[in-house]
């Protein structure tokens, strides 16, 4: 399977995502430059972590205007798998591919630490290989990861089984402990934790690999 | 501009003798711009005029060293065709004036030093010193400085995408008016792709890349070469503002441009900005450089040559390309959205020639400016010392309360509040991050790992700069050996007061000599570093604080961490109980925290024994015999044992110490050359230790719950580990909130 990893100016987890896919997962990954109008021949897209365009405005607010995001939107609307990690999640939200917003952490500080996530649904191409209710240990590293949305949106996300991960011990004040959500069509996932940092036994956890493995097996079914 | 008066010379912090030297180099009176150029290049910060003579006493070569001092960073060979570049630098003065930007640009500066060499930065560490958070007068300010510095480091490092993997943070009253922010960075590259800061090739274009030049940071280097006075707070505009995003672009663009093969030499613009980069590149290349300031991208209008030459705007680089291949370089920088313009060319007359609107505004021999800076053999007497040699009679009221007080004290408590604000995992190489004895970063390209640690102890050095500096090197090497790494090279940051005072100069000389002795003995040559003098506020100098950063090599594998993993394991004190007496006890954390006074001398160091302990430790680690290992330092054996009990497993220990020493010493003395480890194979561990001629008493066992310490039938400590851990882990946050 061929993964495309988008590189925005300021992306800094692009290489980590590439490494997890190529070396830990054993699939193919290639970089896609931010002003590309085409994604090329990829089966899935990863929007990696970092500080796209410096994120001096709202995180992801500039990235949504990039040429590559037009291509990503089109790709998503055609059913392509899109995984947004950390800054990637923020970009998906800013682009309107996912609902809600990501605001400053409750404690107003950047937090880097491994956290426990509860797998809330396996009805998604990103978690079909996981066990429902399974607790995954995956690191977070963000200053603006507090998930926020209005009550109706939150109710809708829950009613439609679109909350994929919840924090066991909420680190950032996210409403209803939300760590990751799907779009309505279930082919776009955004999450604040970094599965690519939990894909190598040397990094202390391989719990993140299940996301990538799920993407591979759901592509195989297609 | 009018005539250069003695007032103008003095305002530039040049002495009359230095001005005479300028006149003789030029054979005429300098222009105002030239005077500014000389003043920054000959500032203490850039010229090392007080320390250069003594820095020569440091060992700088060794079998791993590819590049010693003199370039932007030292470089060592790590095998398999790869090398690492690393260095530590101070940003003390700016961080006091504006903590957030001061610390942020400190990170930015050292990162540029690394990628200027062609290496990709893969790790950062910080050595921080602040006044106590509970200081009756300065406490509130100290908290603000700490918070500002930490968020500044986080802001820059996190956005740039380099993990901040460790460091140290110490609180002493001596830093009330003068905090220290020393930043270490390390990068990796192929060893045949090292770039040097040299201007070569007659007619080659000199290209300016990165941020535009503004009026920020003018005279930053001179500011860092003076004491703080009431007026220093007025110097806020001298502190630069960092843009980590721009630096990230600059990194990617520079590394990509280097791969074109069109770049001949490159240097970042740090202290003294365009001035330093032009004259140093010319001087090192044995050439001259001519630039036209009209071509320099400028952020503001109406900047004078003086301002352009002395600006310390961040995120700028100067490079020399091969003539005719400029477009290849420009193409890369355009891709990354960065300014890149030819501002001059390499000449063969050895002059640094600066033009503005076509007129020459400065014309100085590069070599004289860069290398013939004044060199002072400043008088030095006995090191300044205020503490008495002998301390009070004392008797602990409760060793348990003492242990609790130590674990909750500023220097010993968990620094999690700090390092959780740093992205310490980005780039997925962090095998062991903050909180361990040393950080371990894997090198994906080679399958090996690099370990690194920073150490410095101002309290020890205030009592004896020579012994303190030796102890810092020994501890740093021990930190590395404790995670199984072989120490191979070092970098240093020497933080002292005003060298024009003989008793301060004596501290500097003694510390350099002590560091040299230890680095020679432990075979860790100093490949580069930085000297920060004039760390004084209103005449009050800091404790002498030489900080050393040592790097070591080890195979990549699961890390050897400090926490006990399983109950029922033997606990061994590699190196033995050590020695102590009432004078040596006066430098301990116990004296500082519990008895609230400091006296006497630093712990006694036997370098030969230390080296054998470290060799034994590495052999034990390599054989996979230790389940946990933690070196003894601040707070001694009892604190180390408690820290080993604070792991996720919650495993504690029952220790029975069979030693002839009063209990306060036994539990809390800080004698070096000791490592606490747990093992399932105590016999094999002891066999290795014996072969190295090292004591390794089995002092107890790990247990499911609790920390119990006894000796000779008396129970000194019997405490609940969970409660102790909370005290230790919450202390810093609590201190910041109150």
Residues with Cβ within 8 Å of B88's Cβ and at least 6 positions away in sequence, in order, are: B110, B127, B182, B183, B184, B185, B454, B491, B492, B493, B529, B530, B547, B549
pLDDT, tens digit (0-9, with 9 covering 90-100), for B614-624:
999 999 999 99
Element (H, E) at B20: helix B16-26
Choosing from A86, A94, A144, A146, the catalytic residue is A86
What residues in A contact B558, CB-CB < 8 Å? 201-202
The pLDDT value recorded for residue B233 is 52
Residue B357 is among the residues annotated as catalytic for this protein: no
User: Which candidate, B501, B617, B626, B610, places its Cα nearest to that of B569?
Assistant: B626
Best residue of A7, A8, A10 to probe chain B, by most B CBs closer than 10 Å? A10
**CB atoms B159 and A54 under 8 Å:** yes
Which residue of chain B has the CA closest to A54?
Answer: B245
Q: Return d(Cα B544, Cα B539) in angstroms, integer.
A: 14
Best residue of A29, A56, A59, A112 to probe chain B, by most B CBs closer than 10 Å? A112
**CB atoms A141 and B158 under 8 Å:** yes
Residue B425 has its nearest CB partner, among A15, A53, A139, at A139
**Residue B588, SS3?**
coil
Q: At what angle do helices B16-26 and B32-41 cross, to 10 degrees?
A: 120
| Beta carbon pairs, A and B, within 8 Å | 83
**CB atoms B422 and A56 under 8 Å:** no
Helices marked H in B52-91 — which ranges?
A: 52-55
For chain A, give the mean pLDDT: 97
In Å, how far are A47, B122, B249, B333, B485 from B336, measured between CA atoms?
19, 21, 6, 5, 38
Minimal C-alpha gap between A100 and chain B (Å): 24
**CB atoms B249 and A10 under 8 Å:** yes
Element (H, E) at B402: helix B399-407
Q: Return d(Cα B547, Cα B503) in angstroms, integer.
A: 20
Q: Where does the pLDDT of residue B70 fall: very low under 50, low under 70, confident under 90, or very high at 90 and above?
A: confident
**CB atoms B161 and A12 under 8 Å:** yes
Which residue of chain A has the CA closest to B557?
Answer: A202
Q: Return d(Cα B735, Cα B738) in angstroms, integer.
A: 5
| Cβ atoms within 10 Å of B323's Cβ, excluding its own | 15
What residues in B contact A115, CB-CB < 8 Å? none
Question: pLDDT: is B476 or B94 the higher one?
Answer: B476
Whether A186 and chain B come into contact, CB under 8 Å, resolves to: no
Which segment of B92-101, B125-134, B605-614 scores lowest on mean pLDDT?
B92-101
Question: pLDDT: is A58 or B689 the higher one?
Answer: B689
What residues in A contact B423, CB-CB < 8 Å? 110, 112, 141
Averaged pLDDT, A71-92: 98
**Residue B285, SS3?**
helix
pLDDT, tens digit (0-9, with 9 covering 90-100), for B705-738:
999 999 999 999 999 999 999 999 999 999 999 8
Best residue of A114, A193, A194, A202 to probe chain B, by most B CBs closer than 10 Å? A202
Averaged pLDDT, B492-504: 97
Q: How far does Cα B141 stand from its chain's mean position?
A: 23
Whether A8 and chain B come into contact, CB under 8 Å, resolves to: no
The pLDDT value recorded for residue B230 is 57
**CB atoms B244 and A111 under 8 Å:** no
pLDDT, tens digit (0-9, with 9 covering 90-100), for B419-461:
999 999 999 999 999 999 999 999 999 999 999 999 999 999 9
What residues in B contact A203, CB-CB < 8 Å? 425, 428, 430-431
CA atoms within 13 A on the CB side of A162: 20
What residues in A contact B557, CB-CB < 8 Å? 202
**CB atoms B428 and A200 under 8 Å:** yes
Residue A194 is among the residues annotated as catalytic for this protein: yes
CB B264 within 8 A of CB B320: yes
Q: Return d(Cα B553, Cα B441) in angstroms, integer.
A: 10
Whether A14 and chain B come into contact, CB under 8 Å, resolves to: no
**CB atoms B421 and A112 under 8 Å:** yes
Q: Which of residues 55-94 of A touch B (CB under 8 A)?
A: 55-56
pLDDT, tens digit (0-9, with 9 covering 90-100), for B541-600:
999 999 999 999 999 999 999 999 999 999 999 999 999 999 999 999 999 999 999 999
Minimal C-alpha gap between A16 and chain B (Å): 6
What residues in A contact B427, CB-CB < 8 Å? 12, 15-16
| Cβ atoms within 10 Å of B606's Cβ, excluding its own | 15
Tell me if the pTM is above 0.90.
yes
The pLDDT value recorded for residue B301 is 92
CATH number, domain A2-220, options 2.30.30.40, 3.40.50.880, 3.20.20.70, 3.30.930.10: 3.40.50.880
Q: Where does the pLDDT of residue B539 fall: very low under 50, low under 70, confident under 90, or very high at 90 and above?
A: confident
* Alpha-carbon dihedral sign for residues A33, A38, A42, A45: positive
The pLDDT value recorded for residue B2 is 60
Averaged pLDDT, A6-18: 98
- In chain B, what percentage of residues exceed pLDDT 90? 91
Chain B positions touching chain A (beta carbons under 8 Å): 151, 154, 158-161, 243-246, 248-249, 336-337, 419-428, 430-431, 442, 444, 556-558
pLDDT, tens digit (0-9, with 9 covering 90-100), for B26-59:
999 999 999 999 999 999 988 999 999 999 999 9
What residues in B contact A55, CB-CB < 8 Å? 159, 245
Which two tokens mark B66?
């590819």
The pLDDT value recorded for residue B238 is 66
Residue B421 has its nearest CB partner, among A10, A13, A110, at A110
Element (H, E) at B460: helix B458-463
Minimal C-alpha gap between A10 and chain B (Å): 6
The pLDDT value recorded for residue B20 is 95
CA atoms within 13 A on the CB side of B566: 7
Lookup result for tokens 């441009």: B257
**CB atoms A194 and B151 under 8 Å:** no
Q: Return d(Cα B264, Cα B501) in angstroms, integer.
A: 43
Choosing from B12, B54, B64, B91, the catalytic residue is B91
CB A217 within 8 A of CB A119: no
Minimal C-alpha gap between A156 and chain B (Å): 33
Residue A203 has its nearest CB partner, among B248, B422, B428, at B428
Which residue of chain B has the CA closest to A23?
Answer: B444
């Amino acid at each position: 399977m061929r993964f495309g990893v988008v590189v925005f100016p300021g992306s800094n987890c692009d290489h980590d995502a590439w490494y997890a896919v190529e070396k830990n997962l054993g699939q193919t990954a290639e970089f896609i430059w931010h002003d590309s109008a085409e994604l090329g021949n990829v089966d899935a897209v990863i929007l990696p972590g970092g500080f796209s365009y410096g994120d001096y405005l709202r995180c992801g607010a500039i990235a949504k205007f990039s040429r590559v995001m037009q291509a990503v939107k089109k790709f998503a609307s055609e059913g392509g798998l899109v995984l947004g990690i950390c800054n990637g999640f923020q970009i998906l939200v800013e682009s309107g591919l996912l609902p809600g917003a990501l605001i400053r952490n409750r404690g107003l500080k950047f937090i880097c630490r491994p956290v426990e996530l509860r797998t809330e649904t396996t009805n998604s191409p990103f978690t079909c290989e996981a066990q429902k209710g399974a607790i995954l240990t995956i690191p977070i590293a963000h200053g603006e990861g507090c998930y926020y949305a209005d009550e109706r949106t939150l109710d809708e996300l829950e009613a439609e089984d679109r909350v994929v991960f919840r924090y066991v011990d909420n680190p950032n004040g996210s409403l209803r402990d939300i760590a990751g959500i799907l779009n309505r069509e279930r082919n776009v996932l955004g999450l604040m934790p970094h599965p690519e940092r939990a894909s190598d036994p040397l990094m202390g956890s391989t719990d993140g690999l299940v996301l990538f493995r799920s993407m591979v097996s759901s592509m195989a079914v297609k | 501009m009018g005539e250069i008066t003695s007032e103008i010379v003095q305002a530039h912090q040049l002495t009359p003798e230095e001005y005479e030297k300028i006149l003789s180099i030029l054979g005429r009176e300098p222009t105002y711009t030239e005077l500014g150029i000389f003043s920054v290049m000959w500032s203490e910060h850039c010229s090392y005029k007080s320390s250069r003579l003594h820095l020569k006493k440091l060992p700088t070569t060794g079998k791993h060293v590819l590049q010693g001092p003199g370039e932007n960073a030292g470089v060592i060979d790590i095998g398999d065709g790869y090398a690492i570049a690393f260095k530590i630098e101070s940003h003390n003065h700016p961080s006091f004036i504006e903590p957030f930007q001061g610390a942020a640009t400190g990170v930015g500066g050292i990162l540029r030093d690394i990628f200027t060499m062609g290496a990709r930065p893969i790790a950062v560490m910080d050595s921080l010193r602040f006044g106590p958070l509970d200081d009756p007068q300065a406490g509130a300010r100290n908290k603000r400085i700490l918070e500002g510095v930490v968020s500044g480091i986080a802001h820059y490092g996190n956005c740039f995408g380099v993990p901040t993997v460790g460091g140290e943070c110490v609180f002493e009253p001596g830093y009330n008016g003068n905090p220290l922010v020393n930043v270490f960075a390390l990068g990796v590259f192929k060893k045949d792709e090292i770039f040097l800061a040299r201007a070569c090739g007659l007619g080659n274009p000199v290209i300016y890349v990165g941020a535009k030049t503004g009026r920020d940071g003018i005279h930053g280097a001179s500011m860092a070469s003076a004491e703080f006075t009431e007026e220093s707070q007025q110097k806020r505009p001298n502190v630069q503002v960092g843009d980590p995003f721009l630096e990230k672009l600059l990194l990617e663009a520079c590394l990509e441009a280097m791969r074109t093969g069109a770049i001949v030499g490159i240097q970042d613009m740090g202290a003294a900005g365009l001035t330093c980069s032009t004259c140093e590149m010319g001087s090192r290349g044995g050439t001259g450089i001519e630039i036209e300031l009209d071509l320099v991208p400028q952020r503001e209008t109406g900047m004078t040559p003086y301002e352009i030459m002395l600006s310390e705007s961040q995120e700028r680089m100067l490079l020399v390309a091969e003539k005719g291949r400029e477009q290849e370089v420009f193409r890369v920088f355009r891709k990354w959205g960065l300014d890149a313009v030819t501002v001059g060319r390499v000449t063969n007359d050895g002059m640094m020639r600066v033009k503005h609107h076509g007129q020459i505004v400065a014309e100085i021999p590069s070599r004289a400016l860069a290398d013939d800076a004044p060199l002072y053999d400043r008088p030095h007497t006995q090191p300044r010392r205020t503490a008495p040699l002998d301390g009070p009679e004392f008797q602990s009221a409760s060793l348990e309360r003492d242990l609790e007080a130590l674990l909750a004290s500023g220097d010993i408590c968990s620094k999690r509040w700090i390092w959780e604000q740093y992205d310490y995992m980005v780039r997925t190489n962090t095998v062991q991050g903050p909180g361990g004895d040393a950080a371990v970063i894997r090198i994906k390209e080679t399958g090996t790992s690099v370990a690194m640690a920073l150490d410095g102890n101002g309290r020890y050095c205030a009592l004896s700069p020579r012994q303190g500096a030796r102890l810092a090197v020994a501890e740093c090497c021990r930190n590395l050996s404790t995670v199984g790494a072989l120490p191979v090279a070092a970098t240093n940051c020497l933080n002292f007061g005003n060298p024009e005072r003989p008793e301060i100069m004596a501290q500097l000389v003694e510390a350099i000599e002590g560091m040299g002795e230890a680095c020679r003995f432990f075979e860790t040559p100093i490949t580069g570093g930085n000297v920060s003098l004039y760390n004084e506020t209103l005449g009050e100098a800091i404790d002498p604080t030489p900080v050393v950063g040592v790097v070591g090599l080890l195979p990549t594998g699961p890390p050897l961490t400090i926490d006990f993993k399983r109950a029922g394991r033997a606990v061994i004190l590699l190196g033995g109980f050590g020695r102590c007496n009432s004078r040596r006890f006066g430098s301990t954390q116990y004296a500082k925290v519990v008895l609230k006074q400091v006296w006497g001398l630093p712990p006694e160091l036997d370098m030969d024994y230390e080296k054998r302990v470290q060799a034994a430790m590495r052999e034990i680690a390599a054989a996979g015999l230790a389940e946990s290992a933690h070196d003894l330092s601040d707070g001694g054996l009892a604190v180390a044992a408690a820290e080993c009990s604070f792991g996720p497993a919650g495993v504690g220990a029952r220790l029975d110490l069979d030693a002839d020493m009063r209990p306060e010493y036994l539990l809390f003395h800080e004698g070096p050359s000791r490592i606490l480890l747990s093992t399932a194979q105590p016999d094999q561990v002891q066999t290795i230790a014996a072969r190295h001629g090292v004591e390794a008493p089995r002092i107890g066992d790990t247990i499911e719950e609790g920390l119990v310490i006894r000796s000779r039938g008396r129970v000194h400590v019997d405490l609940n580990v969970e409660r102790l851990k909370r005290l230790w882990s919450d202390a810093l946050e609590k201190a910041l909130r109150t």
